[in-house]
Amino acid sequence: MIAPDRSYGAWGEMAEAEAEREDGIEAVAIVTPNWTHHRIAAAFVKAGIDVILDKPMTTTVSMLENSWSFKERPVGSLS
C-alpha cells in the first residue's frame, strides 16, 4: 500500500515533493514511452534524484544536446 502522502498525480509533483522530503527517494526508474523520457529525466535530475532510464534518452539530436546542459548543473545522476 502506498502512503497517501506519497501518492502523486503527476511525475513533476513527485520529483518536487520527494526532493523536499528528508526521507525522499534516492532514485527513480523511468519506463514510459520514448518521447517522454527526456523531460521526465530532466525533472528528476534537476531535483537531485538519480535516474535509471529505459533507452532511448531522447528521440531527437537537439534534445540529446540539451540533455548535457541539464546533466552538468544538478546533483542527481543519470544511468
List, for residues 10-65, the tens digit of each pLDDT value.
999 999 999 999 999 999 999 999 888 888 988 998 899 999 987 777 777 777 66
Per-residue pLDDT of 46-61, as tens digits, reads: 899 999 987 777 777 7
CA 43 to centroid of chain Cα atoms: 5
Q: Residue 4: is the preceding peptide bond cis (ω within 30°)?
A: no
Res 26: pLDDT: 94
pTM above 0.85, yes or no: no
